[in-house]
Structure 1
Amino acid sequence: MIDILSTIHDWLFKGWESIWRVLFVGVLAYLGLLIFLRISGKRTLSKMNAFDLVVTVALGSTLSTIIVSRQTGVADGLMAMAVLIALQYGVAWLSVRWTWFRHRVKSEPTLLFHQGEYLRMSMRRERVTEDEVLSAIRSSGGARPETVTAVVLETDGSFTVIQSNDSARATSLQNVQRLTADGSRQAC
């Protein structure tokens, strides 16, 4: 019985040294991350596409590892964060300057539903079901698919629903891709 209580105690409390380490290292790592984010700008934590989301999750995971893992020093962890931020900055910088690079690393928005018609090839390619399109329509306040001009799967994985009465927003479909019968992509 005493062994069980001792084991439970060790699971819950490793000692004051461990607590003080987490507090000290956590503050240092957090301040380091704030400085890096301030230097690198708002785009570092944006969720404009899947690549941005992966970098955000990786930064959070790295911060957690620095704080909790005794094997990772603050300097090692901050260097890992700096590398991730620098790579994300580099990819964003190149994407803004060269279209060919942007097309290699970033996806394009995809039209899934247009003027009452489910675009099945696009849905299959993006692995989206009819139920998910209907859910997006409901989430946007739509009662029926007939009241919707388009449903777009954005580059960050979110759905955009363009209501039929939003004729001014219809021009926002200009960079959205649609799959043709032969499987090629064409702009709307």
Structure 2
Amino acid sequence: MPEHVEVILRSFLAFGLLLIGARVLGKRTISQMTIFDFIASISMGAIAANLAFNTSIEAHNIVLAYCMFVMIIFFIAVFSLKSRKSRKFFAGDPTVVIQNGKILELNMKKMRYTLDYLNQQLREKDVFNIQEVLYAILEINGTLTVLKKPQYRYVTRKDLQLPSEKEARPPIEIIMDGEVMAENLKENGLTEGWLDGELSKRGLSREGVMYAVLAPNGSLYIDTSEDHILHPFDKE
């Protein structure tokens, strides 16, 4: 078999293995990864890359190594679900870096966490004054959780003793990418006739709608294919 044909076939196999591995190990975005998850993902990617282009190694050996790696990660994840000690060993513990407006330098030093990065993550949480912070905790995935002091927190409807409507269901996507989500309509007791009626009230047809979602309060948001914006900001 020509080498370039073998590389093509091995690349398809590597992609398929990565997809299967991701399905087996569950959904996890990069921002949610712990150190263990990150190392495991990098290792799996390296094994799959070798399967794709390293023709000097037999494909079945690399596939075996990849499957073993997925199995090890899977069983560690299952074991961690049942054991808090194992979760702590593989993922670590959250670390408090600010307490009552005071920076805990020793904790930051242990985590090799700099003031520049702390300030950046605080600004991402709309915090520009450290004195507003009651607690700031560095989570095991590297994100910063911030609890402001009571006097600096946002006021809620409950604080103002205002009535709030109960939302019995989440928003329902009716049309996605111009295609009617028939299953969503059926699950929520809606019909395509109802949808056509709502669109006709607005002088629209299905063909001209790109996205439509039914809010919990019963209002229908519709985005058409033609936005009629003469000077869009994202125009290149």
Same fold, judged at TM 0.5 (above)? yes
Are 2:31 and 2:141, in contact at CA under 8 Å, matched by a contact in 1? no
Letter in 2 for 1:54: I
For 1:73 and 1:167, the matched residues in 2 are separated by 63
Alignment of 1:27-176 (within 5 A): 27-42=12-27, 47-164=32-149, 165=153
For 1:49 and 1:43, the matched residues in 2 are separated by 10
Higher relative contact order (Cα pairs below 8 Å, separated by 6+ residues):
1
| Secondary structure of residue in 2 paired with 1:63 | helix
- Which segments of 5 or more consecutive residues in structure 1 lack a partner in the other structure? 1-16, 169-188
Are 2:93 and 2:140, in contact at CA under 8 Å, matched by a contact in 1? yes
How far did residue 95 of structure 1 move? 1.2
Identity of aligned residues (%): 23
For 1:157 and 1:45, the matched residues in 2 are separated by 11
**Greater helix percent: which structure?**
1
Are 1:110 and 1:154, in contact at CA under 8 Å, matched by a contact in 2? yes
Normalising by structure 2, what TM-score?
A: 0.57
Normalising by structure 1, what TM-score?
A: 0.69
Letter in 2 for 1:110: T
Structure 1 runs (4+) greater than 6 angstroms displaced: none
| Secondary structure of residue in 2 paired with 1:150 | strand
Q: How many residues align?
A: 153
* Post-superposition CA distance 1:40-60 (Å, at most 9, x none): 433698944111111111111
For 1:83 and 1:166, the matched residues in 2 are separated by 49
- Which segments of 5 or more consecutive residues in structure 2 lack a partner in the other structure? 157-236
For 2:57 and 2:16, the matched residues in 1 are separated by 17
Cα RMSD after superposing both structures? 2.7
